[in-house]
Structures are given as structure tokens and as C-alpha cells.
Amino acid sequence: MASHAVVVLPLPWLASCVCVCMVAVVALLASSPAPAAASRAARAPVHGGNPTVGFTEVRLTESNFELQRPYDEPSGDRYSFHGGVRQLWVLSSDKPHARNSHTSPRTEIRMTGYDYSSGVWQFEGYGYVPAGTTGVSIMQVFGAGETATTLMLHVYDGALRYYDRQVVEDGIYDRWFRLNVVHDVGASMLTVYIDGVQKLQAPGRGGDSHYFKFGVYAQRHASSCMESRWKNIKIFRKH
């Protein structure tokens, strides 16, 4: 489903070139794209589509955004929410989010009120990762059978990856991107879109209950400081 716009550029030397015989003209046309193909390329959309078509947006209030941060840090030292932008950061030396937890440092938002075990659900948000942040999860679909998560999106050296594996989107640093994650529980399938373009399909991992999370959660080879920013967070479901 992924598509990329192709711009057909004029050949600047063609106007000044004097064709001395029809053979040269035919050769030039043979090396150019077919008219139908060129027309299709010119019509290719620059931006992706809207993955939320056919879904219904659920109502969110601030009570649906539950902050998880190092247990010994005030929320203002690892999180801010100004001008509609949620800024979350954590240090690799920070404590876990709970005293009895043995997990890595995190500052994340856990979406509450819409845990699900069936149906088709979708997360949408605009994310931003500053250069230098690496070795970190910025979004999760929590809940699985034999593992903790069904999906994690990690950032390593400017690339957004499915866990620490295949690249979902390269060149993610220092730009806003629209992230849509669709979880079809019945089909056991997850689909990830960046700026409306499908970038990944991955199988589900079982589990009886799921929910969405976003922020920063340290992984292998984490940078000393990790940060992500988010705005316009929405949750949808398909009826």
C-alpha cells in the first residue's frame, strides 16, 4: 500500500538540442517513460491517505492519560504539557517507574479507560524525536501471550524500528510525523502507518488485554538522555 510521489522533471537539454534525423528522435523517445506510466507517476499523491476512515474516534479527557515516570522524580522533572505538546524525557541512570519494578527507566503515558481484548482499535498521534535520542521505545501496544508487548516501536540512530529489527521509517529525527497503529485482535494483525503510508504489518502475539502507550522507555544501548514529544493523541475503534 506504500506509495511515493514521483515528479517528472523536464529535460533542460532537450529544448536546445537540434535533432538532425528521425532516428535520434525515436531513440530518445524509446529511453523515456511510457506516456501512460508518466501520467500515472504525475498523478501519484504526495501524501498518504487517512487510515482512520471507517473508524470512530473515542472521547478522551486528561484522565485517560496516566503518566509513568521514575518513582523518585517529580512529574515536572520528566514531563511537560504546554501548547498541546506533551514532552517526555528520561535519563538512562533513572530509577524504574515503581519501587518494586526491575524494568528500565521510562517516562511514558499509559492510555487508560480503553483497554481492549477484541475488535479493531487504532492509535493516532503526531510524534517528534530529537536527534541524539537512541535505544528507546517510543510507542507500545501492551499486552501479549508470552511477552509483555504485542508491538514496540524503537528508535536507533534516527531510524524507527519494529522492536530492534526491521526499519519502519528512516530519518525520524527532528521532524513531526503522524503515527497510526491499527490492531486487529481477531485477525491477529498490526499495521503501522507513517504520514498515512503503510510501513509495516506484523502478526499479533496473543494476550487477553491490550492498551496503548507512548513516550520514552529505555532499551539496549540507550543514550544518556531520551526524549520524545507528542500532540493530537487520538484513539479510534471500528464498529
Instruction: Encode pLDDT of 62-72 as tens digits.
Output: 999 999 999 99
pLDDT tens-digit map of 77-119 = 999 999 999 999 999 999 999 999 999 999 999 999 999 999 9
- pLDDT at residue 233 in the model: 98
- pLDDT at residue 42 in the model: 34
- 205-225: average pLDDT: 97
pTM of the model: 0.80
Least confident stretch, 35-44, 55-64, 117-126, 195-204: 35-44
Q: How far is CA 206 from the centre of its chain?
A: 22
Q: Is the torsion defined by CA of 6, 8, 13, 17 positive or negative? A: positive
Residue 69 burial (CB count, 10 A): 24
- pLDDT at residue 63 in the model: 98
Main-chain dihedrals φ then ψ at residue 86, nearest 5 degrees: -95, 120
Percent of the chain with pLDDT over 70: 80
64-118+128-177+207-232 CATH fold: Jelly Rolls (2.60.120)
- pLDDT at residue 26 in the model: 33
- 191-202: average pLDDT: 98
Per residue in 155-194, is it b (16+ CB within 10 Å) or e — as a string? Answer: bbebbbbbeeeeebbeebbeeeebbbbbbebeeeebbbbb
pLDDT tens-digit map of 167-182 = 999 999 999 999 999 9
CA distance 16 to 14: 5
Cβ–Cβ < 8 Å for 203, 163: no
Q: Return the C-alpha cell found at 116.
A: 481492549
pLDDT at 134 over 60: yes
Percent of the chain with pLDDT over 90: 78
- 112-130: average pLDDT: 98
DSSP structure class, residue 18: -
Which of 158, 220, 213, 224 lies closest to 181, judged by CA?
A: 213
Q: Return the C-alpha cell found at 67.
A: 503518566
* Strand ranges, E, within 74-224: 79-82, 85-91, 106-111, 120-128, 136-142, 149-156, 159-162, 167-169, 177-184, 189-194, 197-203, 211-218
Provide the pLDDT confidence category of residue 201 given band limits of 50, 70 and 90.
very high
pLDDT tens-digit map of 14-42 = 333 333 333 333 333 334 444 444 333 33
Residue 81 burial (CB count, 10 A): 16
- 207-225: average pLDDT: 97
- pLDDT at residue 49 in the model: 87
- pLDDT at residue 143 in the model: 95
